[in-house]
Chains A and B, each alone.
Chain A
Amino acid sequence: AQTVTQSQPEMSVQEAETVTLSCTYDTSESDYYLFWYKQPPSRQMILVIRQEAYKQQNATENRFSVNFQKAAKSFSLKISDSQLGDAAMYFCAYRRGSSGDKLTFGTGTRLAVRP
């Protein structure tokens, strides 16, 4: 069974600084996807960024980028120029490459942004 581990229950960053959230996963599959989801206090989950396992290039979406280390099964999220609106729970998630398969989530990291 696939597992996703987020070892940082809470993180804090100063506004405008950079923060990195960690995620490791365990799988025997070669075809899979990895995601970072953001869940603000309103509780609506929002997709932040996705990474296909077959792609070597790290995904980037504006201020959000990932460091995907396939051999180490590591998938960290870097938030640059942190903003107050980035404060939320961040969940790392895994999905097998099979069409329509479920997401397996980690336990989340709560990010606080200090003004």
Chain B
Amino acid sequence: EAGVAQSPRYKIIEKRQSVAFWCNPISGHATLYWYQQILGQGPKLLIQFQNNGVVDDSQLPKDRFSAERLKGVDSTLKIQPAKLEDSAVYLCASSPRLRPGEQYFGPGTRLTVT
């Protein structure tokens, strides 16, 4: 079974620029999560999708962050414009319908904003 795929693995941009991250969850997993992990901290949920609908985006800075999950499979997270404090690893995870407590994580995208 293929794991959660994310791209790119690394991205360096200047502040005020835009960036997008892509995630392909494990096949058949209905729930998809985007987490932000700042260095030295645990991951923090940004947004959660159930199929292609948003379940929780309460901690998503909506003035600059957006996310979508078209057709309930792949997902894209966008930051526009980026700030220095957005430097972090962005983790995507997915969980199966019958075992929603088990989340499987991708390798993450390390974003550096200069």
A114–B74 CA distance with the chains assembled, in angstroms: 41
Asked whether, in the complex, the Cβ of B107 is within 8 Å of the Cβ of A43, the reply is: yes
Are A43 and B89 in contact, with the CB atoms below 8 A?
yes
Q: How large is the interface on B (under 10, 10 to 19, 20 to 34, 35 or more residues)?
A: 20 to 34
B residues near A93, Cβ cutoff 8 Å: 42
B64 at the interface (CB under 8 A from A): no
Closest A residue by C-beta to B45: A102
CB of A45 closer than 8 Å to a CB of B: yes
Task: Give min CB distance, A61 to chain B, whole Å.
Answer: 13
Cα distance, A43 to B33, chains bound together (Å):
16
Whether A35 lies near B101 (C-beta < 8 A) is: yes
In the bound complex, CA of A101 to CA of B101 (Å): 8
- Chain B at the A interface: mostly helix, strand, loop or mixed? strand
Q: Are B45 and A42 interface neighbours, CB within 8 A?
A: no
Give the shortest distance, in Å, between A57 (CB) and chain B (any CB).
17
Q: Which A residues are in CB contact (< 8 Å) with B107?
A: 42-44
A18-56, CB < 8 A from B: 33, 35, 37, 42-47, 50
Task: Known A100-B50, A107-B40; judge A44-B105 contact (CB<8 A).
Answer: yes
- Interface contact A103-B89, CB-CB below 8 Å: no
A44 to B43, CA, bound (A): 12
Tell me whether B87 is interfacial, beta carbon within 8 Å.
no
Closest to A4 in B: B42
A residues contacting the other copy or chain, number (CB 8 A): 23
A91 at the interface (CB under 8 A from B): yes
Instruction: Show 23 A/B contacts (Cβ-Cβ < 8 Å), sorted by A.
Output: A33-B101, A35-B101, A43-B89, A43-B107, A43-B108, A43-B110, A44-B108, A45-B91, A45-B93, A45-B105, A46-B105, A93-B42, A95-B101, A99-B100, A100-B31, A100-B48, A102-B45, A103-B43, A103-B45, A105-B42, A105-B43, A107-B42, A108-B41
Mark A residues whose CB is within 8 Å of B. Answer: 4, 33, 35, 37, 42-47, 50, 91, 93, 95, 99-103, 105-108
Binding site for A on B (CB under 8 A): 30-31, 33, 40-45, 48, 50, 55-56, 89, 91, 93, 95, 100-108, 110
